[in-house]
Amino acid sequence: QVQLAESGGGFVQAGGSLRLSCAVSRTIFSISSMGWYRQAPGKQRELVAAMPNGESPNYADSVKGRFTITRDNAKNTVYLQMNSLKPEDTAVYYCNLETTSSRTKSKDYYWGQGTQVTVSA
């Protein structure tokens, strides 16, 4: 069973920083992308940042220049460094893992449990 263990969420004042991490439970060789989504109250879940294998990361326009996604492939871990946080960044952040079967090319998606990030004014 694939499990994603998230950490790093919390409460921070505007302008502060947080670093989220997400580690896959065990070594998986079929990972094709790792990323972060977030969902604020009353809003749809949205992509924050994603890092496909061997490609440049993708960022939501609202976080460009402030957030940085990195991957440690040896540890099957993805990080999200969040700087210059704003109250509108307040949301539950979810780690996302995409795997692609080498045999069937089918894709599976896995989600972390979500970690709360609250930014006060």
pLDDT tens-digit map of 39-97 = 999 999 999 999 999 999 999 999 999 999 999 988 889 999 999 999 999 999 999 99
Of 10, 3, 5, 4, nearest in space to 82 by CA: 10
* 3-state secondary structure at position 41: coil
CB 30 within 8 A of CB 100: yes
Tokens of 48: 């924050």
Q: What is the pLDDT of residue 25?
A: 83
